């Protein structure tokens, strides 16, 4: 099932947090950027920010 990522941003549009949901449920959970992603970011639908902004947020938190 495709993952859906929701980027939460500040007033300036910077990603503050990312939430993840499977496409078949309304439940979301915070994405732990300290761990490697258990899925491919390219296979996700992303709302709230660009893919590049989400990738930068992930890299800033995990160093991978």
pTM for this model (two decimals): 0.83
Strands (E), the chain: 3-9, 15-22, 29-30, 45-47
Scanning the structure block, which residue is given the tokens 């300036």? 12
∠ Cα 63 54 6 (to 5°): 130
Closest to 40 in 3D by CA, of 50, 55, 25: 55
Rounded alpha-carbon distances, angstroms, from residue 60 to 1, 15, 22: 27, 11, 24
Q: How large is the average pLDDT for residues 6-19?
A: 95
Q: Which residue ranges make up each domain of the chain? A: 3-62
Higher pLDDT: 19 or 38? It is 19
Higher pLDDT: 5 or 26? It is 5
Predicted confidence (pLDDT) per residue in 22-51, tens digit: 766 678 899 888 888 888 888 899 999 999
């Amino acid at each position: 099932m495709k993952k859906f990522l929701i980027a939460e941003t500040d007033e300036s549009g910077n990603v503050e947090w990312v939430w993840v949901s499977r496409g078949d449920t309304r439940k979301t959970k915070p994405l732990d950027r300290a761990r490697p992603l258990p899925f491919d970011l390219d296979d996700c639908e992303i709302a709230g920010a660009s893919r590049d902004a989400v990738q930068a947020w992930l890299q800033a938190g995990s160093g991978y």
